[in-house]
Amino acid sequence: MEGIPQTQSTSSNLKPKWQERFAFFDQHGSPSSATYKAALKAAPFRKRLLIGMNLIAFLFGPIYLFVLGLWKKNLSLLGIIVAITVVIEIFQNVTGIVMPRALDTGLNVMFNVMYGVLTNYAYYLKQTTGKQGWNPFEGMRLI
């Protein structure tokens, strides 16, 4: 399992997994850039998983982002999740349509994947540039 990285600006104080992720972002840019997409596509499967997904964030999303110090982005993500949940509940109560369990499970998995995918680059921005904005999708490609 990944350890909790040190909160330092230099990547030499980080765990090896974080150093590898940071080196990849330094070399290829943000996930929205064309060079990043090409490099990630050319990388072996395990490296693509290491760069593109954070397993601890996938499993323990809100807690892990608070531990990493990404509290603004975490509160934004929690707000998005609560807003989507409220809209679905209002829709169900107004129409009387009950959401199938499979759709509910799918939404929960989607929320976890969102945490897993967004964490690596958000932490990179925090450590290297000091950016700690409220936008959890900063520098990410959405499609």
19-34 pLDDT, tens digit each = 999 999 999 999 999 9
Tell me: do 33 and 97 sit in the same domain. Answer: no
Single out the residue of 119, 91, 116, 117 nearest to residue 103, CA to CA.
91
> Residue 132 to residues 19, 58, 100, 129: CA-CA distances in angstroms?
20, 20, 37, 9
Tell me: do 102 and 121 sit in the same domain. Answer: yes
* Predicted TM-score of the model (pTM): 0.84
At 30, give phi and psi (nearest 5°): -75, 160
Q: What is the mean pLDDT of the chain?
A: 90
How many structural domains comprise the chain? 2
**Per the domain annotation, does 8 fall within a domain?**
no
User: Which of the 8 DSSP states describes residue 14?
Assistant: S
For the chain, the distance separating the N- and C-terminal CA atoms, rounded to the nearest angstrom, is 29
**Per the domain annotation, does 1 fall within a domain?**
no
**Per the domain annotation, does 64 fall within a domain?**
yes
Q: What is the DSSP string of 97-138?
A: PPPPHHHHHHHHHHHHHHHHHHHHHHHHHHHHT----S-TTT
**Per the domain annotation, does 105 fall within a domain?**
yes
Convert the pLDDT of each residue in 42-99 to its tens digit.
999 999 999 999 999 999 999 999 999 999 999 999 999 999 999 999 999 999 999 8
Tell me: do 40 and 59 sit in the same domain. Answer: no
Range of 123's domain? 55-135
User: Which of the 8 DSSP states describes residue 2?
Assistant: P
Tell me: do 64 and 75 sit in the same domain. Answer: yes
